[in-house]
Amino acid sequence: MEEQFAFAPAYELPSWPFVPPPELAGGQVVRHPLVIVGAGPSGLTLACDLAQRGVRAMLLDEDDTVGVRGASSRGICYAQKSLEIFERLGIFERIAAKGITWSFGRTFSGEQEVYNFNLQAASVSRQPPFINLQQFYIEWFLVERILELGLTDLRWKSRVTRVEPLADGVRLEVETPAGRYTIEADRLIDATGANSAIRTGLGIEAHASRSTDRWCISDVRFRKPLPTERWTWVDAPFNEGRGVWQHLMADGVWRIDYQMPEDCDTAYISRPEVAGARLREQLGPGVEFEFVWIGPYGYRDHLLERFRHGRVFFIGDAAHVVSPFGARGGNSGIQDAANLGWKLALVARGQAGDALLDSYDAERQPAARENLQVTSRSARFLAPRSPAEHTLRRAVVALAARFPFARALVNTGRMSVANDYPAAPQLPAGGRTVQNLPLRRADGRETTLMQLLAEDTRCIGLWFAPTADAARAALDATAGLPLRLLAVGGTDHGLPTLQPDDRLAAHVGAGEPGSFVLVRPDAYRARVLAQATPEAIADAVRTALALALDPAP
């Protein structure tokens, strides 16, 4: 008797009403300071980031809901840096309560485990290494937070049909259910994704390449106790010797990705009876299961040469697409938004000049290039393209089963981490993320780095045991600059104080009395001074904000 495969009820996604904008009635072309197009993870993160900083923006999206109709999971793994950003934006607790926290992963060849890792071992952050959650929940929480903050003009059912660069801005034509209208923007941020019509309309080359690797996603619920870990098979016996990923998500739904033959019929492999046979082979007889969603995918990658084109900025998949291995796609887009948000905010306030916005491209384009290189190597390991690559993979897997040195060569996806930034005029020694360490104030109250950064858009200066005279002089030297000076230890200096902490000192690379660390609003270390002077501190802030290049913002 043929087995019948059930589908669980689809998720009920929220929707928000279309409100006819005033431009339809007025007929005048209104100029707006900031317009974001695309309400995916990167566009919503940027809008929320700006609102959290007190900056108004307009967000246009052609739909009236989140995610993909049909409730596919799409992105699911949210990395520590992204979770830290969400902590600052005020939605982390909702994500943690809804999602699945994990840090341990295992890789198998056949039935044998050949590699494992524990990402928690190197973490000092309040946030875990990863939380798995369906992408539409992230978007949902961001929309609700944006509405709560109340500074974003969020316009649904608004499709941008044309973009025209101007000498001092951008003109956009927008199509809605109630008619068309035209607006102008001082700056436009394209967050419309991999198939950006804005990018195409502007004639910007994406340098795309398409992979022949094919996969089929199965979102499924089943009754079989399994640990909350990331499991990966290089050559699963239950998938004809091809790769498989297995993750648990919210609502008791497992996301299982099956690698398929290059020449497969995508409609055939997505049939419930075909996907069900694969899953039955994996789970064994007698395990009850029901599908939530099934769908095939092939992926392509692309990378813009520049993420800034005059008054137009590209973030997320509109700027870069990488292979899905290691969760480096959506997380990178979220981190694009966090990099750009504070810079737009300081420029809007007149506390930094336009030169600071150039550093968005100088930092995030190399980050995307690194992610592309890392994920491409994973793709080649999972889908070797020549007999030599197949031989190499067999040798690595065989050695990994016996020798520890070979286990690190098993590459089923290097998990997303916050990228380092190269040395640049704003970052003389390069930039490295500072994790969201738990901190304790002098009076014993607990705080975190992200809580401190959420209080305003300014750098934080961590000064270890400064003298009273130096502290007073530094306050004078940095007056008018977006900087909050905090002492770490010491007495009688008159600065807000954190208790000394060996983890903090080791993590930021300082700790001796008089040493100083400048942390940017996006929680990146901008400068370390072994022995800080008031003049050196002021110079470090001006350098980080590109004020030396553009002294009159």
Tens digits of residue pLDDT in 215-250: 999 999 998 999 999 999 999 999 999 999 999 999
Q: Is residue 549 very low, low, confident or very high in pLDDT (cuts 50, 70, 90)?
A: low
Show which of 347, 381, 415 is a domain's final residue. 381
DSSP labels, 107-154: EEETTEEEEEEEGGGG--SSS-SEEE--HHHHHHHHHHHHHHH--EEE
Q: For residue 94, what are the CA distances in angstroms to 87, 137, 143, 262, 383?
A: 10, 10, 13, 39, 37
Whether residues 312 and 438 share a domain: the answer is no
159 within some domain: yes
Asked whether residue 447 carries a pLDDT value surpassing 80, the answer given is yes
> Tokens 């060996």 identify what position?
502
550 within some domain: no
C-beta neighbour count of 127 within 10 angstroms: 25
Output the six-digit token pair for 40. 């995916």
Whether residues 373 and 463 share a domain: the answer is no
Cα separation, 172 vs 155, in Å, equals 14
Structural domain boundaries, residue 459: 432-544
Asked whether residue 51 carries a pLDDT value surpassing 70, the answer given is yes
Whether residues 49 and 176 share a domain: the answer is yes
Whether residues 371 and 437 share a domain: the answer is no
Is the pLDDT higher at 517 or at 413?
517
287 within some domain: no
State the SS3 of 240-254: CCEEEEEEECHHHCE
Domain count, the chain: 2
515 within some domain: yes
C-beta neighbour count of 162 within 10 angstroms: 14
> Tokens 């980080």 identify what position?
544
330-348 pLDDT, tens digit per residue, is 999 999 999 999 999 999 9
Whether residues 193 and 305 share a domain: the answer is yes
Whether residues 370 and 451 share a domain: the answer is no
pLDDT at 552: 44
Q: Which of 36-45, 87-96, 111-120, 177-186 has the lowest mean pLDDT?
A: 111-120
469 within some domain: yes
327 within some domain: yes
111 within some domain: no
Q: Is residue 297 very low, low, confident or very high in pLDDT (cuts 50, 70, 90)?
A: confident
CATH code, 507: 3.40.30.10
| Residue 300 bridge partners (DSSP) | 210
SS3 164: strand
